[in-house]
Structure 1
Amino acid sequence: MDIAFESKQEAVEFYRGLPSTFRQAANVLLINSRLAAFPEIESDYKEFARFISRFIIDRYEKGWLTEIIEKHYLFTEPEEKIAILGIVSAIFAGEKNDLPQAGGLPDRKQLIIDSLADILTEHCTLSLQSILRFRLTAYREALRRFVEIAIDEYKLEQEYQVFIDKLRRIIRAYKPLCEKIEVFDESPFKLFDDRHRLIRNVQSVRSFYPLLKQWGIDAEPSIILTLIALAPKQVVVYTDRPEHGMMKTLHQVFEDRVCFLPGSFRAENEAGYSQ
């Protein structure tokens, strides 16, 4: 089997990426811009396909993704491209499993390996460029789907950030009405004022919602909007799930006004609270 590369440098890069044990087992030789290999068993062909897949991803994938972002979806600002590529990378790394669209996407590495399944055993001579041009249709289509999902997520994140920014400006624009609110992470949430008295008439803050609409915010009642309406200087949240999305949003909105304590801290002092 003889594989031609576009340049000697590319051939050297691929050759150096092969484990020495595999080079010996498959009798791999580097000859200028070509790679000659003489695999003796079927598993060597499968390994070779895996190494080609890794090489293609490492060398070409980022450029192809950027091309898709620019030409197909018309995002040309550097900051936008970096953000979208970051989301794609997170999806690849399995860090975006909460995105339902990402669950049904194929393994892009396996798509490349599958595209090489026949040609490595049936062709004595082939070129990497022919593989890139004619054999990766399913893989390139998958990349486009990954980018599409990443762009949808990027737009949602942008909308979310605009929402957070508006809430921060509301907090800064109005004078605090009380020193401290303590929040117990229960279902529903319990709120106590700075004298440890339960705030019972939480629904009264609904009068705050017309004001929110003046800021361009049309949202359902939530613990975050309730706290903004009460306008405390400090928010103390007793919770055992500080990494939950709601807690992260609280932190982004109230910034240094909010602190999180374990639920056990609340239990130690609960006797002092008025129900």
Structure 2
Amino acid sequence: MLEILFTSPKEARTIYSIFRKNRIENKSELQLLNDEVITINPTLWDVTVEKMIIPGFVQFICEHKEHEMMVTLIKQDYYFKDEDEQHQILQIAYSIMEGERTDIPGIKEGPSRELLLRKILSQFLKPNLSFSYAAFQRFRLHPYIERLRDYVEVAIEEYKLEQEYQVFIHNIREYLVKRETKVHQLFLVHKEKEYVLLNDQYRVLSEQELIQSIDQQFIYQHPMYIDSKLLAPLVSMAPNVINVYTDNQYDGMLHTIQNIFQERVTIHNLQEFKGHFKENKNREPS
């Protein structure tokens, strides 16, 4: 028989419900006593463990305990006390865990959380075992919690970078409010990783012209972030209109330009530029 003690009646009822759904008919006897003890008396131990107990624990921990563990890490180990900050860090962590943020560096390779839990449980569970779930979580889940810590640490670094980025964008917007417009309109052509700036006569602006246009005080104020070949000239010239021609509107630099200039930016398909270029009889930038 297996006996599991819970200090929380809610947790006991939750995992009991999960076990009931996973139970193989006529293979195990399952009871919940006083909303605090679950007993399992399997006819076939290996089958019950594999089909009912381990999947039940994995589901319970991932769906009902994981969030709490991650919040504890964020609060107690990394000292983020503000609930809004905790929420933002958790959102990033879950997006990484669910494979939505593969672009973020620093994510360690390793088995999934589910596989870690299955391994821990398969090594721990034995016939005629009586244990407290709280003690099991505290003393047996270290590999799983360390895996969660990996995600939390990467999420915190990404959160800090995103906060710095937002401050950067805000500061440049403030600069633009005070900056006198030097040109009314510019054209920006984006091909793969190349960016070409043109004036309103569709003439490519030379590297020397771009360097001369830069407000050096602006560069001095933003040394860590500003791109001197494109972003610095753009911001320094402070155009009222920027027509962007691209086949990749999700490009990182273009995303930053849109965040900074907002309604001043209009995105076009790269093919549209070729039509404009022919009409103006200018050489297309390479």
When normalised by structure 1's length, the TM-score is 0.88
Q: 1:16 Cα shift? A: 2.3
Identity %: 25
Distance 1:57 1:105, change over 3 A: same
Which runs of 5 or more residues in structure 1 are unaligned? none
Q: Partner amino acid for 1:264? A: Q
The letter of the residue matching 1:16 is S
Q: Aligned pairs, how many?
A: 275
For 1:182 and 1:130, how far apart are their aligned partners in 2? 64
Task: Report the CA distance between 1:216 and its aligned residue.
Answer: 4.0
Q: Give CA-to-partner distance per residue, 1:54-81, whole Å, 9 cap, x none.
A: 2012222222211211221111122221
Is 2:38 the counterpart of 1:46?
A: no
For the pair 1:143 / 2:148, whether they are aligned, the reply is yes
Higher deviation after alignment, 214-223 or 186-195: 214-223
Asked if structure 1 preserves the Cα contact closer than 8 Å seen for 2:42 and 2:48, the reply is no
Matches of 1:71 and 1:188, distance apart in 2: 45
- Aligned ranges 1:1-275 → 2 under 5 Å: 1-6=1-6, 7-18=8-19, 20=21, 22-24=23-25, 26-27=27-28, 29-32=30-33, 33-38=37-42, 40=44, 42=46, 44-47=48-51, 48-186=53-191, 188-201=194-207, 203-206=209-212, 208-218=214-224, 219-273=226-280, 274-275=282-283
Q: Distance in 1 between matches of 2:91 and 2:190?
A: 33
Contact 1:178–1:230 (Cα < 8 Å) also in 2: yes
What is the RMSD computed on CA atoms of the aligned residues?
2.5
Query: Where does structure 2 lack aligned partners over 5 or more consecutive residues?
Result: none
CA–CA distance in 1 between the matches of 2:108 and 2:100? Answer: 12
SS of structure 2 residue aligned to 1:97 = coil
Question: CA shift at 1:23, angstroms?
Answer: 4.2
CA deviation after TM superposition for structure 1 residue 122, in Å: 4.1
- Most deviating of 5-14 and 166-175: 5-14
Letter in 2 for 1:2: L
Q: Is the 8 A contact 1:5 1:127 kept in 2?
A: yes
Deviation at 1:115, TM superposition (A): 0.9
Q: 1:247 to 1:204 in 2, by over 3 A?
A: closer
Secondary structure at the counterpart of residue 104 of structure 1: coil
